[in-house]
Amino acid sequence: MDIKMLWIAAALVLVLPGVCVGEGILPLGPLSGAEAGKVTFATTLQPPESPFLSISWSFNGANIITSTSTIISEPGYANRFSLDRATGTLELRKLVLEDSGEYAITITPDAGRPKKGTVTLKVYAPITGAVIRSPEEAILIEDKSSTNLSCEASGSISTRVWMKDNQPLHQSDRVTFSVGNKTMALQPVDSSNHGTLQCRVSNPFSTMTAERHLTVNYGPHNISITGPSAAAPGERVTLECTADSVPRANFSWMFNGNDTHVNNSMYIIERFEAESIGNYVCTATNMVTMRENSTVLNLRASCSAPSWSFFLLLINTLILRGLK
Helix (H, G, I), strand (E, B) or coil at 216: strand
When the candidates are 2.60.40.10, 1.10.10.10, 3.10.20.30, 3.40.50.300, the CATH number that belongs to 220-304+311-323 is: 2.60.40.10
Nearest to 158 by CA among 32, 265, 69: 32
Do the domains 22-124 and 128-214 sit in the same CATH topology, yes or no? yes
Q: In this model, does residue 16 exceed pLDDT 80?
A: no
Question: Could you tell me the pLDDT band of residue 112, with boundaries at 50, 70 and 90?
Answer: confident
Which residues, in sequence order, are bridge partners of residue 135?
none
When the candidates are 3.20.20.80, 2.60.40.10, 1.20.1250.20, 3.40.640.10, the CATH number that belongs to 22-124 is: 2.60.40.10
Q: Average the pLDDT over 187-202 and give the result.
A: 96
Domain locations along the chain: 22-124, 128-214, 220-304+311-323
Q: In this model, does residue 19 exceed pLDDT 50?
A: no
Q: What is the pLDDT of residue 143?
A: 96
User: pLDDT tens, 132-164?
Assistant: 998 876 799 999 999 999 999 999 999 999 999
DSSP secondary structure of 34-65: ETTS-EEE--SPPPPSS--SEEEEEETTEEEE
Q: What is the Cα Rg of the chain in Å?
A: 39
User: pLDDT tens, 222-242?
Assistant: 999 999 999 999 999 999 999
Q: What is the mean pLDDT of the chain?
A: 89
The helix (run of H) or strand (run of E) holding residue 108 is strand 101-108
Q: Identity (one letter) of the amino acid at 100?
A: S
Question: Could you tell me the pLDDT band of residue 318, with boundaries at 50, 70 and 90?
Answer: low
Q: Identity (one letter) of the amino acid at 286?
A: N
When the candidates are 3.20.20.220, 3.40.50.720, 2.40.110.10, 2.60.40.10, the CATH number that belongs to 128-214 is: 2.60.40.10
